[in-house]
Structures are given as structure tokens and as C-alpha cells.
Structure 1
Amino acid sequence: MFAAAKSTENAPRPSIGFHALTLATFFGASSVPTPLYRIYQENFAISPVLITVIFAVYAFALLAALLITGSISDHLGRRPVIFSALLLEIVAMILFVVASGPGWLISARIVQGIATGIAGASLGAALVDVDRAKGQIVNSIAPLSGMALGAVGTSALIQYGPFPMHLVYALLLVAFALQAAAIWLIPESGGTRPGVFGSLVPRVSIPPQARRPLSLVTPINIANWTVGGFYLSLVPSLVATTTGSAAPLTGGAVVAALTASGAITVYLRRGRTATANLGFGVSAKTLGILTVVAGVHLANVPLLLIGTILTGAGFGTNFLGSLGTIMPLAKADERAGLLSAFYVQSYLAFSLPAILAGFLAKSAGYQVTTDIYATAILLLLGVGIVALRADRGNTAENAA
């Protein structure tokens, strides 16, 4: 074991660029189906409920992969695990290309979720191996940037290119095949160690000292990921229904605005305190949600875009602030379990409310669904910020 670690240490270090690009490509592919959901609805006679189920199974599969295989690359090495994730993603792209109904789409999304979960953990670890400081920043920015490019790029291909349900997946299949070949040209950034089967047992735990802080940021975190799930499952259909704009690029641009503004804000506010980020994030998100609701009721696309940019800025800073509140409280051997608990909460909020939104959209329409969603999110944000301020006030009084 010590010899393996020594040889890895003396090996040439890989560039951070390949891992960043590969991570962005995985998450870009994850947002590709979003602009296509309307086309799937029309071609396969799929209801809004089933669309949100197709979206949600991806989140469930990704979460399961993160919990089960999150540390497997610590034992097998980064390259073979990343390569395996790339092969699974290629299978998912093939399933999308040959899809002829909702069952195929569900299967493709499950495989894609597993692949993205494995890739996210192993590529994230590889990025930190190469450069701890830059790796942590890239781990926050690359997924959001990739999702923005995936949404707007797919929308452009649908609007201006041929074979709207197939072309983007064929292009991604080629990209992932090239990355699967290139990974073996990249030096291994990690090592290997025994205990791979033991690492497959999910470990979800909250250290005692982090329980209260986690409970305080929970309303804000749930509101955060609920918005993300709503955008990535229903927003293109919402935009088309409420504004009358059938152009795929319009809905794709609205989705891309959320993730792009989130990525930019994460970078700009990466050095701020957790408290400052949560305060900014809640304010930006509140203003953004109100603006989005106004844009929906006025059928105004520019207003929707402005509201989405503000909402995305709030998403990014709330994510930074939530992690910054809890993770410094965990000891080294407690971080993985705490992060797993955080992601369980986040991905359940990402997926389950989206299914509810599908039922609401089918029975009450997209506009009413938006109003209900917005009200719930604003209430959660309000509860969260009041709880945090009350806790800080109590802490200050006790200290005095």
C-alpha cells in the first residue's frame, strides 16, 4: 500500500482541464432532456406527471450512486472509476437515441443518474487531488456551467438542427467515447487501497455539533433545490404555455439563465462568509421568485429571464452558505457522513416536489402551479432566515 502511494506521489500530475471538462460534460448531458420534454410530450403522448417522474428517477439514481459509490475511487483509483462512469453514460446516450416511449426514457435517465453520480464523486476527488484550492472551485462551477450549456445548446440544436430527438445525444455519445479513450492518457491522480466492498455501505450521519446548524439551514436548502427541480422538469413547458413562445431556445435560455447565474455567483462570492452568503442568497432568491411570478402572469419573457438570473444568483449563494455553515463543524472523519446527509436532503427536495408539480400542472395548469410553488418557496426562505437570525441573536446574548 505504501509503495503504491509513493509511486502515485512521484507520478506526473494531470492537468485540471480534462477533469473539469469531463465533469461539465456529464452535467451538461444531464440537462439535455429538459428542453426535449415538450417534444417527448407531443411525440409519446406523455403527461406532465410522467415527465416529472422521468426527471425524478434521474435524481434518485444519482443520489443512490453518490451514497453507494461515493468513495469507491479512493480504493480502485480515479481513472478506472471515471472510465466506468463514461461507459455507463455512453449506454445512457444509446438508450436516448433509440427511445420510442416513456419506458425507454426512464431507463435512460436511471442509467444516466448512476453514471453521473459515480462521475461526480470520482471526478470531484480527482480535481481536488490535482489542486485542492482550484479543484474545490471547479467542483462548484463546472456542474452548473455544464448544465447551462447543455440546456441552451440542446435548445439551439432543436430549433435549428435536424433530428431534434437524436442529434444532441449522438454528439454527446461521440464526446463521451473520446473522453473514455483519453482518460487512459491522463496520469492517475489518486492511489489504491483495500476495503472496496466496505466502502459500498452508505454512511449517512450528522455529528452532534452540526445538528442544530443543519436544522437551521434546512428550510433554505429545501427551497433552493425545490426551485432547481421545478426549472429542470417543467419550465420549458411553462414558458411555452404561459408566453405562447414555441421556440425551444426561449425555454432553454430561461433554464440556462438559472444555472449560469448560479455558477457566476458562486465564483464571485466564494470568499464570503456563510452568513453573508445566506443573507444575500435569500434576498436575491426572494426578489427573483417574485419577478418570475410577475413574468408568468404578464407573459413576459424578458421579465422571466431577469427573475431567473436573480433566482440563480440566490441558488448559488444559498448552496455556498449552507455548506459553509455545516461542513467546518465536522471533524475529518465526520465530513463524508455529514455531506451524504446534506445531499440526501438536497436531492429529495430536488425530485419529490417536482413530481407534485407535475400533478398540479396537469390538474390546475402551469400558472397556478407556479403560484403555489412560489408561495411555498418564499415561506421556506422566510422561516429559514428568521430562524438563523434568532439563533444568532441568542448566541450573542449568551456570549454577553
Structure 2
Amino acid sequence: MCAAAAPSPLYSVYQAEWRFSAITLTVIFAVYAIALLAALVTVGALSDHVGRRPALLAALAITVAMVAFIAADGSGWLLAARILQGTATGLATGATSACLVDLRPQLAPLINTATPGIGLGAGAIGSGLLVEYAPAPTTLVYVLLLAACAAGAVGVALMPETSPRRPGALASLRPEFGVPGNAHGRFLAVVPILITTWSMTGFYMSLGPSLAIELLGINNHLVGGFVVCCLMGTSAIGSLVFRRRNPRAAIIAGSPLLLVGLLGTLAALAATSAPLFFASTMITGFGFGGAFLGAFGSVSRLAEPNRRAALFATVYTVNYSAFSLPTVAAGVAVTQVGLGVTANAYAIAVAVVAAVGFLAAVRLLPKH
């Protein structure tokens, strides 16, 4: 997850150096999500059949993506690197989550919920720090990530295997989608929350650094990383705070915070106030943590073990479609009406969907 967020503070650097449009920038961002989703629904369960260690080592081997970032001299290289990176992340996500359940079943839900936000936040702020203050801004961060992945590979090679091999590896590659009949109502009720949280995350991670630099007049790439860190770091905190609440209560508590944060962001952009912008981003992230935790928990607990893969694949499809497609649309809008108008319109649209999600949770989800 650190590696996934590392390019975010660099997007404005790449864009200025190679002079590609906002559409190209958001497409470079979106192909990562598409590749990650494709990997999740195909090889996400592969570690159940070949073992955890081989799957994790294969994911780490795909860190050749870092080499592609280092060698990049245009947008084509960035596209290829992000596709490789998304594929590796998708494979690693399934294997790592399963490995945590094997080793620490009591802590696995908490770790799986909190670590993505922590990793994305740390990756963005670390990358921003290196880009702004260290030499070789478009190279050093990837060299360090390569070294970290090499160390991780050694650790994986030495760890005990927690899942013996079993047949069915090829069959597990066939994507399976579906929502169990007893989960249909809850799934439809939480779709607006899934769309809200992931479309907002996609916008912040792709255009958030540019927004801070261009609209707020802060010409510092560390600030670009801090934008992502504010959102994702507080989302991890929100997940921890709301983890003991039932799903409906988590959504009802988190959704209003999303709305408050988004309205604060609109006010910050109108007033070009950096403190208000970052404070609003933190509120939004905190609400994201609670709302998404509740949305995911409300449907995941209803699926029988033999139907969970299909349900999770469906949820992931909604998540990563919302993560990527609206962001590309925003990139198109930026070229037509500018970043400021696009950011305001995007925030209003997400706020409306968040309000719908709140009402759906109140009316359709059970209290217990």
C-alpha cells in the first residue's frame, strides 16, 4: 500500500515534465485500480491452492514495476508500471489477508481494515518528503521501495507456510460474482456509501496534490503527499474508532462526517484556505473510515463461506469502479472547465450520494 500511494505526489512532476493532460494523469491513476480489481477477482484466491508463500513471493516479484517507474520517460511507461503495480497489489492483498487470518485470526479484521489507510498515508507522505527535499525525486523513492520489497521477500521466504497446497488452482482463476439472496437488500442499501467513499478516495489520490498546489498556491510536493495522508491516515483512525459499533451505527455516524468534511472542503476552496482544506480532509477521512467499515460489515456477515468469494468480488467491483471511473471523468472535466470548477462539482456530487447513503442506512439496515 505504501508503494501504491508513492506516485501520487509525483503526478504533478510527471505532468509538468512530460506535458500530458489531466485526462492522461487520471487514466494513469485509474489503470492501477482496474489491474488491481482484475487480479483480485482472478488470482485473489490462488494462495488457497498454491500456498501463501508462493503467492506472496510472486507478488513481490512483480515489483519490476518499480524498475519501470525508474526507467519511465513518458506516460506510456507510467501506464505500464501502474498496471504491473495494480496486478501485484491484487495478488498480494488476497494472500496477505488470508495469511493474517491463518496466523492471527482475532486481529486479522482490525489489521485488514486499518493497514490500507496507514500504508497509503505513509506512502504518500514519505514520497512527498523525498520528492521535495531529497535528490533524484523521480528515482529515489522507487529505489527505496525496491529495497523494502527485497527485504520483504527474504522475510516471506523464511516464514512458515500456513496453507498447504490443494487442487483447484486453475478453477480458482475463474471470476465469480453474485450477491446471496439474503444480502440483496443490504447490498443495495450500502452501494451509495461504497460509491461515496471510493470515488472520493480516487479523486484525492489522483488530483488532490494538484489541487493543493494549484488552487491553494502551496508549491511544495510534501504538501501533495500530506493531502493523501490526511485522508487515508484519518480513515484508518476512523476504522479503529468505529470497529466495535454495529454496521448501521457506523454508517450513521460516519456519513454525516463525510458530508461535513465535503462541505468544509467546498468552503476551503472558495476561501483558498489551506488550514480549512486540510482540516476538512481529515474530517472526511475519519467519516470514510466509519462509513466504509459499516458498509462492508453489513453485507460480509451475511454470506455463507462458499459464497463469500462471489460477494467480495462484487463489492470490490463496485469499489474499484467508483475509485477509477469518476476520476477519469474528472480528468476530462478539468481540461474543459478547470480544476477548481471540477473539484467543486465533484465534491457536491459525492455529498449528494453520501446523503442518499445515510438515508438508505437509516431506513433499510437493521438496528442490530
Output the TM-score relative to the length of structure 1. Answer: 0.90
Determine if the alignment matches structure 1 residue 80 to structure 2 residue 30.
Answer: no
Determine if the alignment matches structure 1 residue 211 to structure 2 residue 184.
Answer: yes
Give, in whole Å, the separation in 2 of the partners of 1:268 and 1:262: 10
Using the aligned pairs only, state the percent identity. Answer: 40
Determine if the alignment matches structure 1 residue 257 to structure 2 residue 230.
Answer: yes
Question: Is the contact between residue 117 and residue 235 of structure 2 (CA under 8 Å) also seen in structure 1?
Answer: yes
Letter paired with 1:333: N
Question: Is the contact between residue 333 and residue 342 of structure 2 (CA under 8 Å) also seen in structure 1?
Answer: yes
What displacement does 1:363 show? 1.3
Q: CA offsets, 1:60-101, max 9 Å, x none?
A: 000000000011000000001100000102x00000000000
Determine if the alignment matches structure 1 residue 28 to structure 2 residue 28.
Answer: no
Q: CA offsets, 1:163-206, max 9 Å, x none?
A: 01000001101111121122111111222110100000001111
Give, in whole Å, the separation in 1 of the partners of 2:152 and 2:302: 37
What displacement does 1:375 show? 1.3
Aligned residue for 1:133, secondary structure, equals: coil
RMSD: 1.1
Identify unmatched segments of 5+ residues in structure 1: 1-26
Give, in whole Å, the separation in 1 of the partners of 2:272 and 2:223: 13
Question: Is the contact between residue 260 and residue 283 of structure 2 (CA under 8 Å) also seen in structure 1?
Answer: yes
Letter paired with 2:106: A
Match for 2:91 among 98, 108, 118?
118
Give, in whole Å, the separation in 2 of the partners of 1:142 and 1:223: 20
1:108-257 aligned at under 5 Å gives the runs 108-257=81-230
What displacement does 1:388 show? 2.8
Match for 1:323 among 276, 286, 296?
296
What displacement does 1:324 show? 1.5
Letter paired with 1:154: S
Q: CA offsets, 1:255-292, max 9 Å, x none?
A: 10000000111112111110110011111100000111
Give, in whole Å, the separation in 1 of the partners of 2:98 and 2:109: 9
Question: Is the contact between residue 76 and residue 191 of structure 1 (CA under 8 Å) also seen in structure 2?
Answer: yes
Give, in whole Å, the separation in 1 of the partners of 2:363 and 2:135: 56
Determine if the alignment matches structure 1 residue 49 to structure 2 residue 23.
Answer: yes
Determine if the alignment matches structure 1 residue 58 to structure 2 residue 32.
Answer: yes
Question: Is the contact between residue 53 and residue 355 of structure 1 (CA under 8 Å) also seen in structure 2?
Answer: yes
Q: 4+ residue runs of structure 1 moved beyond 6 angstroms?
A: none
What displacement does 1:52 show? 0.2
Q: CA offsets, 1:333-390, max 9 Å, x none?
A: 1111111100100100000000001011121111111111111111111222223323
2:41 matched residue in structure 1: 67
Q: CA offsets, 1:28-59, max 9 Å, x none?
A: 10001100000000111111110000000000
1:104 matched residue in structure 2: 77
Identify unmatched segments of 5+ residues in structure 2: none
Determine if the alignment matches structure 1 residue 374 to structure 2 residue 347.
Answer: yes
Structure with max Cα Rg: 1
Q: CA offsets, 1:87-143, max 9 Å, x none?
A: 102x00000000000000000000000000000110110011001121121111111
Question: Is the contact between residue 186 and residue 364 of structure 2 (CA under 8 Å) also seen in structure 1?
Answer: no
Question: Is the contact between residue 62 and residue 113 of structure 1 (CA under 8 Å) also seen in structure 2?
Answer: yes
Give, in whole Å, the separation in 1 of the partners of 2:141 and 2:14: 14
Question: Is the contact between residue 278 and residue 317 of structure 1 (CA under 8 Å) also seen in structure 2?
Answer: yes
Give, in whole Å, the separation in 2 of the partners of 1:391 and 1:97: 49
2:323 matched residue in structure 1: 350
Give, in whole Å, the separation in 2 of the partners of 1:233 and 1:48: 10
Give, in whole Å, the separation in 2 of the partners of 1:193 and 1:107: 33
Aligned residue for 2:224, secondary structure, equals: helix
Aligned residue for 1:127, secondary structure, equals: helix
What displacement does 1:391 show? 2.9
Question: Is the contact between residue 52 and residue 95 of structure 2 (CA under 8 Å) also seen in structure 1?
Answer: yes
Aligned length: 367
Aligned residue for 1:381, secondary structure, equals: helix
* Bigger Cα displacement from structure 2, 73-82 vs 268-277: 268-277
1:20 matched residue in structure 2: none
Output the TM-score relative to the length of structure 2. Answer: 0.98
What displacement does 1:316 show? 0.9
